[in-house]
Structure 1
Amino acid sequence: MTLLMKSEFAKRHGVGASAVSNWARKGLLVFGEDPKRPGKQLVDAEKSDLLVRGSIDQTRGRPRSAEAALVEASEAPATAPARAATMTGAEAVRMEEARERIIGRRIDNEKALGNLVSLGEVERRTAERGRMIRERVQATVRNLAERLAAETDPRPITSLLSAELDDVFARLADDIESEASAEAQADVALAVLDEEADEEAEAA
């Protein structure tokens, strides 16, 4: 198995970096773990070559997406019923296995690009958000307890609670936005470091 950086894979095919990025978005690249840098991903050259070359649109000379290739394969019986009628069980199994491999590669690629997140991480953050909201609402009610107890007219009580709770949720939204912004900046910084590491590795 030959593992290459995206820039090296681009040179291998005589294309620019943007073309390789497009292939990745279309699910035409297979990634493997970098043995020298744990947690980093490199392009599996041989497997990616097969996908890229096998997905070339012969009428236009450019790669189709992996999904497009599958769609065309599924539509083939409409134009070639004889071929569909003679498909063996083994061929059907191989086609299904190929479909599953493409889906698996797409998932791996989306993870590598940061477009998919862990379900456990989402559940953890959701629980944290719920706990934060509950604690802040309870604190607001405690702070207003004496003022609320002194009111006999329900209208001022409703108005006061609405204003205070609106303020609580506005501050929560600001906190969440600030946290997301900080994480995005950290992701950008890590991406820059990864790019610099790739450039240093190429120079070496």
Structure 2
Amino acid sequence: MPELLTKAAYARHRGVGKSAVSNWINRDQIVLVDGKVDVAASDARLGAMVDAASGRDPAPANAAKKSGVAEAERQRPEQPTRATARASHAKSGSDSVANSDAAQLAQERLAEIRERRIGHSLKNAEIAGTLVPIAAFEARLQTMISGFCERMQSELRAGSEALALETDKRKVRGMLDDMIHKVRSDFADAIEAGVEEEDDEADG
């Protein structure tokens, strides 16, 4: 019965990485039996076809020499003439201008699309009746800011004694963060409740 190894074990057997074994399998240079490598058969096939150190097919012995000779015999490319250089420079300049114009046109189109979307959003809001006069919005915003400041001052006054007694700066910072978080959460809940009341009144 032939000796069978996993792909990883066969890689260790050959002293190569797993990728080399995968390369051999992809090129049908490994004999597999039920998903495992037939060691003797694969060694025999690789001995004739593959360089075990690299996992690649060996090139003919004289291939590198022929390649070197061909490279040495290759003539240097002709230097471009002044006319060719001027034409190339002019083409490069025109391409740069064309690219700049295309970029500007793309930006203008994006700006137009944004304006259309904003217009559609405003139109939908107007139809839905959710738009309010700017004066009413400013008044409501001022009321909200004043309410938040009052809540924050009240919370600080309530915790002033505890803050004064605490000497650890990190704990003081933590206490302040907790106060701010509490006021922010309470204020957000109050705003949401107010919005719900307004919706109920509108529905009624």
TM-score (norm 1): 0.38
TM-score (norm 2): 0.38
Rg larger in 1 or in 2?
Answer: 2
Where relative contact order (Cα < 8 A, 6+ residues apart) is larger, the structure is 1
